[in-house]
């Protein structure tokens, strides 16, 4: 009987994902009933939020329960269908879970989307630039950050799946864009290939001075992906009525971050600090998708993927997000 290999959440992580946290299990694939379809997962999106989903803490979705298949976004192709809306070969985007196959009923709490076949766009683009990261960059910057031409935008985790798109949308909207990243290779990519005005490696001594030198007019928008010391340094540079787009706080996902010492700037500079979760904008994904696809196809947005091969390597892939081992979108490709 064919089986489905699945990563099961077996323990809550303390810091990184250790071998006891996820365990690989083989479960039999059931014969399809009427109204069901079976899709084979091709790519898994590896996202920082997965670390939060593993923890029993208050969050925007219920945490994954021990014994459940680990939640993950993915792209899957229908291999067999007895459901009127799905046919063999359809490519679907949704919460596939960290497994080889996903059984679909059409009544999933978070519905799967069919992805179209568009020239110049690959399957993995629908997980990154045209997927959750592109949408997050688009709505976070344009709806929350409200950039104006000539303003200074600082983006942290700027060579990641989200940050790299934020910076490029900022350039399209006429901003001066500064990216903060964790390696010289990442600096080179965002500056030379993506067109950021300045790239700063926060692992180099003197990076805060570089940030000050790069923002002589101060900072109007902080697109915050990291938190902690990086957010503190950027807050310190914010202009009157600046906007802080609170997208993520990855430096605190695996351990407790130090408290912000520059929070008083929110008061003094009358900043607007707004958190957002991308699913709140789901009704308008189509509109954003059109812009992002056009920018991607016309070369105004460039992207890159870090591809880890094999379901077996998914747990290590999650940890790569926290060591900064990815450039651009991190995905696991299933054989
Ligand atoms: N609000 C939403 O709806 C939403 C949606 C998607 C993502 N997000 C958030 O957006 C952020 C980026 O997510 P992503 O999926 O695009 O991941 P990503 O940026 O592709 O990967 C994470 C990057 O974060 C950086 N990082 C990790 N730990 C760090 C630390 N302690 N200090 C500084 N930088 C660190 C690393 O880059 P370096 O090498 O540069 O350190 C790493 O490559 C995350 O905070 C995520 O939670 C939010």
Ligand 1 near 190 CB (within 6 A): no
Q: How far is the CA of 163 from the centre of ligand 1 (A)?
A: 8
Per-residue model confidence as pLDDT tens digits over 171-202: 999 999 999 999 999 999 999 999 999 999 99
pLDDT in tens, 190-233: 999 999 999 999 999 999 999 999 999 999 999 999 999 999 99
CA distances from 140 to 145, 148, 307, 320 (A): 6, 14, 26, 24
Residue nearest (by alpha carbon) to ligand 1 atom 19? 160
Placement of tokens 């945490």 in the chain? 63
pLDDT computed for residue 120 by the predictor: 83
pLDDT at 263: 92
DSSP annotation of 284 reads G
Find out whether the beta carbon of 183 lies less than 6 Å from any atom of ligand 1: yes
Ligand 1 atom 45, closest CA = 248
Whether ligand 1 lies within 6 angstroms of the CB of 136 is answered as yes
8 A C-beta contact, residue 154 and residue 180 = yes
Distance CA 10, CA 67 (A): 6
Cα(103) to centroid(ligand 1), Å: 30
45 CB less than 6 Å from ligand 1?
no
pLDDT at 72 over 90: yes
Ligand 1 centre from 248 Cα, in Å?
Answer: 7
What was the pLDDT predicted at 335? 79
- 250 in ligand 1 pocket by Cβ < 6 Å? yes
Q: How confident is the model at residue 89 (pLDDT cuts 50, 70, 90)?
A: very high
Please indicate, yes or no, whether the overall pTM of this predicted structure exceeds 0.95: yes
Q: Kindly report, residue by residue over 295-305, the tens digit of the pLDDT.
A: 999 999 999 99
Q: Is 187 in the pocket of ligand 1 (CB under 6 A)?
A: no
The per-residue pLDDT for 50 is 98
Q: Is 207 in the pocket of ligand 1 (CB under 6 A)?
A: no
More confident residue, 170 or 335: 170
* Rounded distance from Cα 86 to ligand 1 centre (Å): 34
Using the atom order of ligand 1, give the atom closest to the CA of residue 203.
Answer: 41
- Residue nearest (by alpha carbon) to ligand 1 atom 8: 248
Q: What is the pLDDT of residue 188?
A: 98
Q: Kindly report the average pLDDT of the chain as a whole number.
A: 96
pLDDT-derived band at 30, boundaries 50, 70, 90: confident
Q: What are the two backbone dihedrals, phi and then psi, of residue 292, each rounded to the nearest 5 degrees?
A: -65, -40
CA distance 198 to 178: 5
pLDDT one-digit tens code per residue, 120-131 = 899 999 999 999
Query: What are the tens digits of pLDDT across the range 130-163?
Result: 999 999 999 999 999 999 999 999 999 999 999 9
d(CA 48, CA 282): 19
Q: Does the pLDDT at position 106 exceed 90? A: no
Which atom of ligand 1 sits closest to the CA of residue 247? 1
Nearest CA-CA partner of 145 in 274, 324, 281: 274
What pLDDT score was predicted for residue 284?
95
Q: How far apart are CA 140 and CA 166, in angstroms?
A: 8
Question: Once rounded to an integer, what is the mean pLDDT over residues 20-45?
Answer: 96
CA distances from 220 to 31, 177, 232 (A): 57, 11, 15
**Percent of the chain topping pLDDT 70:** 100
pLDDT score for 118: 85
State the distance from the centre of ligand 1 to the C-alpha of 16, rounded, in angstroms: 15
Q: Among 143, 250, 256, 323, name the best residue to mutate to test ligand 1's pocket (greatest count of ligand atoms within 8 A of Cβ).
A: 250
3-state secondary structure of 78: strand
Is there an atom of ligand 1 within 6 Å of 167 CB?
Answer: no
Q: Is there an atom of ligand 1 within 6 Å of 306 CB?
A: no
Write the pLDDT tens digit of every residue in 249-261. Answer: 999 999 888 788 9
Of all residues in the chain, the percent with pLDDT exceeding 90 is: 94
Per the CB < 8 A criterion, the answer to whether 230 and 253 are in contact is: no
Any atom of ligand 1 within 6 Å of the Cβ of 324: yes
Distance, CA of 160 to CA of 274 (rounded, Å): 21
* pLDDT at 158 (0 to 100): 99
H helical segments located in the chain: 49-53, 132-139, 163-172, 184-188, 207-214, 228-235, 264-268, 285-297, 314-323
Instruction: Give distance in angstroms: CA of 278 to centre of ligand 1.
Output: 14
Tell me if 198 CB under 6 Å of ligand 1. Answer: no
- Measured from the Cα of 228, ligand 1's closest atom is 32
């Amino acid at each position: 009987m064919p089986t489905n290999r699945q990563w099961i959440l077996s323990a809550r992580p303390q810091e990184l994902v250790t071998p006891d946290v996820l365990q690989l299990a083989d479960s039999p694939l059931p014969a399809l009933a009427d109204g069901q379809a079976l899709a084979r997962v091709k790519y898994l999106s590896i996202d920082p939020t997965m670390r939060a989903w593993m923890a029993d803490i208050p969050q925007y979705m219920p945490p994954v329960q021990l014994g459940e298949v680990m939640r993950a976004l993915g792209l899957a192709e229908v291999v067999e269908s007895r459901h009127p809306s799905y046919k063999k070969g359809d490519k679907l985007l949704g919460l596939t879970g960290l497994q080889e196959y996903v059984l679909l009923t059409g009544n999933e709490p978070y519905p799967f989307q069919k992805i179209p076949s568009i020239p110049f766009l690959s399957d993995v683009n629908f997980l990154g630039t045209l997927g959750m990261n592109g949408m997050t960059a688009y709505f976070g910057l344009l709806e929350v950050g409200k950039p104006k031409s000539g303003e200074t935008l600082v983006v942290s985790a700027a060579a990641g799946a989200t940050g790299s798109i934020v910076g490029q949308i900022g350039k399209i909207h006429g901003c001066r864009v500064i990216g903060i990243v964790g390696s010289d290779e990442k600096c080179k990519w965002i500056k030379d290939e993506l067109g950021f005005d300045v790239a700063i490696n926060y692992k180099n001594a003197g990076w805060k001075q570089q940030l000050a030198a790069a923002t002589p007019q101060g900072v109007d928008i902080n697109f915050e992906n990291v938190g902690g010391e990086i957010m503190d340094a950027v807050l310190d540079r914010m202009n009157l009525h600046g906007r802080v787009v609170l997208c993520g706080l990855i430096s605190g996902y695996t351990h407790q971050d130090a408290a912000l010492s520059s929070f008083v700037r929110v008061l003094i500079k009358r900043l607007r600090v707004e958190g957002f979760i991308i699913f709140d904008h789901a009704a308008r994904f189509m509109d954003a998708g059109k812009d992002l696809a056009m920018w991607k196809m016309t070369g105004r947005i460039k992207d890159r993927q870090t591809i880890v091969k094999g379901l077996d390597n998914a747990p290590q892939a999650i940890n790569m997000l926290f060591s900064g081992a990815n450039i651009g979108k991190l995905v696991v490709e299933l054989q």
